[in-house]
Amino acid sequence: MDERGFESLISRLEKTATAYPRRYLALVVAVALLGFGVLAVAILFALLPAALLAGLLFLVVITGGKALIILLKLGKLLVLLVLPAWVMVKSSIQMIFTRFPRPQGRALSAAEAPALFARISELRQKLNGPRIHHVLLTDELNASIVQHPRFGLFGWEENYLILGLPLLQAMSEPEALAVVAHEYGHLSGHHGRLGGFIYRFRSGWGRMQALSEQWQDWGSRLIARLFRWYAPYFNAYTFVLARQNEYVADRTSAEVAGPQHAANALMRVNLAAQFENEVFWPSVNKLVAEVPQPPEDRSAFWLKSVHEQLDVETRKRYLEVAAKRQTDHLDTHPALNDRLQAIGFAADETAAVTLVPPAASAAEIWLGDTLPPLLAEFDARWREDVSERWQSRHTQLAEQRQRLDALNAKESLTTDERWEIIDLTGDVQPEADLLPALNILLEMTPDHAAGRYRRGVWLLDKEDESGIADLEHVMTLDEGAILPACEAAWRFYHERDANKAEQFRQRWQDRSDYLDRVRTEFQSLPADATLAVHELDAEIEDRISRIVQENGKHIRRAYLLRRILKSDSKLHDYVLAFETGYLTLGNKGPTVSKRLAAQEFPVEIFIVHLGSQPYKRFRKPIKQLGIVPLTGQ
């Protein structure tokens, strides 16, 4: 199922869920049961060769060995059964018992955070849900609950609560409780067992899909193909319910922490995420140019930045951006406005005013005296991870600054030097206003593709829609710019105009599909390839001819052709087709092909032996086109 079919199916199911909720739930249950059927078929298919082999051995035993004579006569049959039996049994065992990677994070004990574990215990009693076996802290602005199977696909599961330390630093304790209650609500099935079951089943299938992509042997690939057929239908049929479950989890959050705190938590997460991307990390990256080593107090810098720079005007702007986002089929999580409206709130100016950074964060309340050493631990690990890249970037920026100073000191500049100044300035001084220099460059060279693209993106970042015209112009100049230009336009319209955003998303998808087709066709040479005269200049033809002559042992004739792609007739590569001598002993085609493939040709070229299948068919177009051999008679 392609992306369009997937979205169309989701749209139909959304209408069914609204008009006929019971019918929709019945469909979800049926598709989930089909999933168990798919697993059963996969396992039975995997074990079938082993069962046949075991049956034959049993027959030998009960006949007192008489059947062994028959089996010996059917020796080839035994070989044919033993090999697939082993492969398929191995695949089924791999599927059922493969250990999935455990969630990563810093394990937190009850002794280290008694306040947090007390809250978790209260939450479990109130919602009558399953036990949280592990609490992990991460360095991300996120929170989640993950179920990890102990013994492969069917092993009973451990529940991991994963809390991002930067998120806890940015939230009040009631807001953080609302986040945890939302995540725990998925597991507890507080508003319905079916929702909790589907949530867990979607997670399980997600793990199986990811695992099946790594299987390489033919038996495993057969099972993986079955999974790939089923997965899109399961994902589509449960998508609507999964989105409904987000609303259910939000109601659970509101019941546990209070509607106001639940609403604040939703908005706080959006504010913190935008602030992190727009302000915090750019501020950290600016330090690379100033200091050769990463700072030791990054966590303190994050907390200070939130309190000092996430002011009321910034909060208003961020909430306005978040409020413009519309719910789509790309994520089961609804848009912020839809989630707030469901619990009776809105992301308005009043909310922006009241959402001041908390005086005491959830991290301080829940972690207490353990917080300072934890922050030091996370900061030290971050410095260790980024230190090498930080030092390398610091050195690079110093060299770029020297080059920029040298260029700025010149009295006259070429077009390339003007562009280099713009490019270097963007790196060395990311907050510099590049628009005047870009305007001068494009007045001198209106079709400077890189400059057009840079100005278009710069204008869109400044919320100026006129940048779209630059991006459109770039896409006419260079088809290679279609993907990044459409992505930039989509990001601009995503929160502003859903229709225009969809248009650019579709253009991006069409281009991506086209490139996938071209890439796939370039990777193989089918027997029905469209061949033509090569049309290379004499110098390149002569270089290829010399390579063939120098490595021409066993080659009787060699032909150079152009292969035209079926996915785009404007694109082509080349084919070197050779014949071996009539009196050559044995099949020398593979040896010659390997020898030629090791050479460095001036163009992308396929090397094929005209004496092998399926390339014997190339003899006919070679004759029809009147191709003259590069070498031989």
Q: Are residues 572 and 493 in the same domain?
A: no
Segment 490-501 shows an average pLDDT of 88
Q: Contact, 209 vs 272, CB < 8 A? A: no
Domain-embedded: residue 133: no
Domain-embedded: residue 428: yes
Q: Contact, 471 vs 456, CB < 8 A? A: yes
pLDDT digits (tens, 9 = 90+) for 458-478: 999 998 999 999 999 999 999
Domain-embedded: residue 443: yes
Q: Are residues 400 and 478 in the same domain?
A: yes
Residues listed for the chain: 633
pLDDT digits (tens, 9 = 90+) for 327-385: 776 677 888 999 999 999 988 889 999 999 999 999 999 999 999 999 999 999 999 99
The mean pLDDT value of the chain amounts to: 84
Domain count within the chain:
3
pLDDT digits (tens, 9 = 90+) for 236-289: 877 877 788 888 889 999 999 999 999 999 999 999 999 999 999 999 988 998
Q: Which amino acid is at 572?
A: H
What's residue 182's pLDDT?
93
Domain-embedded: residue 73: yes
Segment 45-73 shows an average pLDDT of 62
What's residue 16's pLDDT?
81
Is the predicted pLDDT of residue 85 greater than 60, yes or no? no
Q: Are residues 416 and 511 in the same domain?
A: yes
What's residue 152's pLDDT?
55
Q: Are residues 415 and 499 in the same domain?
A: yes
Is the predicted pLDDT of residue 71 greater than 80, yes or no? no
Q: Are residues 483 and 553 in the same domain?
A: no
Domain-embedded: residue 450: yes
For the ranges 185-189, 430-434, 453-457, 509-513, the lowest mean pLDDT is seen at 185-189
- Report the alpha-carbon distance of residue 195 to residue 246 in Å, rounded: 10
Is the predicted pLDDT of residue 173 greater than 80, yes or no? yes
Which residue did the predictor score with more confidence, 527 or 419? 419
Q: Are residues 431 and 541 in the same domain?
A: no
For the ranges 98-112, 448-462, 483-497, the lowest mean pLDDT is seen at 98-112
Instruction: Select from 97, 128, 151 the last residue of a domain.
Output: 97
Q: Which residue has the tokens 């059964």?
A: 81
Q: Contact, 87 vs 218, CB < 8 A? A: yes
pLDDT digits (tens, 9 = 90+) for 537-561: 999 999 999 999 888 888 889 999 9
Which residue did the predictor score with more confidence, 212 or 487? 487
Residues in CB range of 223: below 8 A, 6 or more apart: 42, 45, 46, 91, 92, 95, 212, 215
CATH number of the domain bearing residue 582: 3.30.70
The helix-helix angle for 218-257 and 75-97 (nearest 10°) equals 20
Instruction: Select from 503, 522, 541 the last residue of a domain.
Output: 522
What's residue 208's pLDDT?
62
pLDDT digits (tens, 9 = 90+) for 7-16: 777 778 778 8
- State which residues form the domain around 59: 3-97
- Report the alpha-carbon distance of residue 387 to residue 50 in Å, rounded: 54
Is the predicted pLDDT of residue 155 greater than 60, yes or no? no
What's residue 141's pLDDT?
93
What's residue 40's pLDDT?
73
What's residue 387's pLDDT?
95
Domain-embedded: residue 551: yes
Residues in CB range of 302: below 8 A, 6 or more apart: 166, 169, 280
Domain-embedded: residue 553: yes
Q: Are residues 412 and 468 in the same domain?
A: yes
Q: Which helix (H) or strand (E) holds 605?
A: strand 605-609
* Residue 224 CA to its chain's centroid (Å): 19
Q: Are residues 549 and 510 in the same domain?
A: no
Is the predicted pLDDT of residue 435 greater than 90, yes or no? yes
What's residue 298's pLDDT?
94
Q: Are residues 483 and 565 in the same domain?
A: no
Q: Are residues 487 and 589 in the same domain?
A: no
Domain-embedded: residue 216: no
For the ranges 17-21, 299-303, 544-548, the lowest mean pLDDT is seen at 17-21
Is the predicted pLDDT of residue 122 greater than 90, yes or no? yes
The alpha carbon dihedral of 299, 304, 305, 307 has a sign of positive
Lookup: tokens for 481: 């710019």
Q: Are residues 429 and 512 in the same domain?
A: yes
Confidence of residue 603 (pLDDT cuts 50, 70, 90): very high
Q: Which residue has the tokens 């609950």?
A: 145
Is the predicted pLDDT of residue 496 greater than 90, yes or no? no
Is the predicted pLDDT of residue 43 greater than 70, yes or no? no
Which residue did the predictor score with more confidence, 186 or 91? 186
What's residue 504's pLDDT?
95
Q: Are residues 461 and 517 in the same domain?
A: yes
Instruction: Select from 30, 62, 97 the last residue of a domain.
Output: 97
For the ranges 406-420, 545-559, 582-596, 618-632, the lowest mean pLDDT is seen at 582-596
Which residue did the predictor score with more confidence, 613 or 629? 629
- Report the alpha-carbon distance of residue 251 to residue 339 in Å, rounded: 10
What's residue 83's pLDDT?
54
Lookup: tokens for 124: 């479990």
What's residue 633's pLDDT?
42
* Residue 534 CA to its chain's centroid (Å): 39
Is the predicted pLDDT of residue 195 greater than 60, yes or no? no
For the ranges 413-422, 576-585, 617-626, the lowest mean pLDDT is seen at 576-585
CATH number of the domain bearing residue 476: 1.25.40.10
Is the predicted pLDDT of residue 216 greater than 60, yes or no? no
What's residue 366's pLDDT?
97
What's residue 586's pLDDT?
65
Q: Contact, 575 vs 531, CB < 8 A? A: yes
- Report the alpha-carbon distance of residue 231 to residue 502 in Å, rounded: 25
